[in-house]
Amino acid sequence: MKIKENQNSFYGISTIKRLSLYVISDKVMNLLRPLSIDTPHARKVYIETYGCQMNFNDSEVVLSILQKEGYRYTERMEEADVILANTCSIRDNAEQRILGRIEQFAFQKRKRKGVLVGILGCMAERLKEELLENSTVDLVVGPDCYRRLPELLQLCEVEGKGIDTLLSREETYADIAPVRLDKNGVNAFISIMRGCNNVCSYCVVPYTRGVERSRDCGSIVREACQLFENGYREVTLLGQNVDSYRWTAGDGTVVDFADLLAQVAAVNPLLRVRFSTSYPSDISDKLLDVMASRENICHHIHLPVQSGSDRMLEKMRRKYDRAWYLERVRTIREKLPDCGLTTDIIAGFCSETEEDHRDTLSLMEEVGFDSAFMFQYSERPGTLAARHYPDDVPPEVKTRRLNEIIALQMRKSEERYAAQVGTTQTVLIEGPAKRGEGDLCGRASNYMMCVFPGDGHKAGEYVRVHINAATPATLIGEIE
């Protein structure tokens, strides 16, 4: 009940307002004619992406919007007329890295007249006008305003600067076919929803990405079909909390995440389907049953636990406790015995004691995750935690606890990967392995990376790989 009140008050604050927008003058209107794709002087755009898979997919949407207006994509910053950074605010070190990078963009601006630098994504949303105070930054565009990018870029050329950070309750970019930036033509991301309605007290995401909204189910299935026709063999359905996906079709039928997953899996048996991220209190038995019933839905769940201590989980405003999480893991393993399980863990959240920390270690010991993303708590301005709880675990204690968590996870990963030796895995080939002449790599259904001699096979094919050896992050085998 308490959590609900806080949620309401969060939405009451309303980040959903137009903070600043440069008004379009008549002289600018003349410039807003789209450039043709064939224009020899088409402006070249370069984009760097930081943070999560959602951001990566957003960059593909941004390029699609700009290409339609005649911009050309370049992988070389040195030849770009427009340099964009799609940014992440999740932890302070992510932001510091990007601020450092902006200094390097400044060098390009000094070297070549007319180069524009734009900051997109979560940092744009969080810092807004503050970013424009840096003379290198010309453009600041939040995650829900990408349709306005061509217009804002042209505005920049005339007025010097452009900004839009309005958050939306509806925008899902459902009608935009992302330009695919993946290198292998085998796996692609599909965003199925945007924003987040949870208010985990440490997390900046609800403030930078706004309220949760689900994308039209039909447009998701169509995108999956299109990708399959173009040769892709794996799609990952993306959302901050995929289990709360909900779409009401024209005839009133409600499609939940389990229904959506079944529909995408029905596109073709040769199209593998993955998803991320699940939320422990929302992951349903219905979803697990759908996963068990279709060969091409991968048996892997990324289920962030954050902490093993009930006191910390409550303070983090996660909506489950340790017992609930462990019950979900038991059910997953009952229904999907071969399911890969990965997680996120935060060390040193506000007031965390040694006992709380030991609870996290014992939960990790009990579950045995295949792998984990592990972080030190980083206070984010404006979040519930920043407003209500002191960031009082000393940095050296956070580091020591994180190191203990990492060491334990290494041991668990080693065990989990070693347990696959002797099994045979169905692997979708992604391409050449980083090391090993002639070796190929690809993932097993449980998300473990496999490396094996190529034997004339190529990316996009499925092979059965017998596992002979393992490291804590790779299975090594040969095609049967």
Q: Which residues make up the interface to ligand 5AD (CB under 6 A)?
A: 90-91, 202-203, 304, 306, 344, 346, 375, 377-378, 380
Q: Does 241 bind ligand SF4 (CB under 6 A)?
A: yes
Report how far apart, in Å, the C-alpha atoms of 103 and of each of 48, 59, 109, 126 are.
14, 21, 10, 19
Token representation of residue 34: 């789209």
DSSP per position, 286-302: HHHHHHHH-TTB-SEEE
Token representation of residue 45: 């755009």
Query: Pick from ligand SF4, ligand 5AD, none: which does 282 bind, CB < 5 to 8 A by kind?
Result: none
Using the CB atoms, write b or e for 454-473: b if 16+ within 10 Å.
beebebbeebebebeebebe
- Pairwise CA distance, residues 289 & 85, whole Å: 40
- Min dist. Cβ of residue 206 to ligand SF4 (A): 5
Q: Which residue is nearest to ligand 5AD (CB)?
A: 344
> Any idea of the CA torsion for 13, 18, 19, 21, to the nearest 10 degrees?
180
> 196, 262, 393, 451: which one contacts ligand SF4 (CB under 6 A)?
196
Length of the chain: 480
- Pairwise CA distance, residues 58 & 120, whole Å: 10
Q: Does 201 bind ligand SF4 (CB under 6 A)?
A: no
- Pairwise CA distance, residues 414 & 425, whole Å: 18
Query: Pick from ligand 5AD, ligand SF4, none: which does 380 bind, CB < 5 to 8 A by kind?
Result: ligand 5AD
Who's near 82: CB < 8 A, 6+ residues apart?
43, 44, 45, 46, 66, 71, 115, 116, 118, 153
Query: Pick from ligand SF4, ligand 5AD, none: which does 53 bind, CB < 5 to 8 A by kind?
Result: none
Binding residues with ligand SF4: total (CB under 6 A) = 9
Residue among 344 and 461 whose Cβ is closer to ligand SF4: 344
Q: Does 283 bind ligand SF4 (CB under 6 A)?
A: no
- Min dist. Cβ of residue 52 to ligand 5AD (A): 7
> 47, 152, 205, 224: which one contacts ligand SF4 (CB under 6 A)?
205
Q: Does 296 bind ligand SF4 (CB under 6 A)?
A: no
- Min dist. Cβ of residue 413 to ligand SF4 (A): 23
Backbone angles phi, psi at 183, to 5 degrees: -90, -20
Query: Pick from ligand 5AD, ligand SF4, none: which does 201 bind, CB < 5 to 8 A by kind?
Result: none
> 83, 149, 200, 291: which one contacts ligand SF4 (CB under 6 A)?
200
Interface contacts to ligand SF4, rule CB under 6 A: 196, 198, 200, 203, 205-206, 240-241, 279
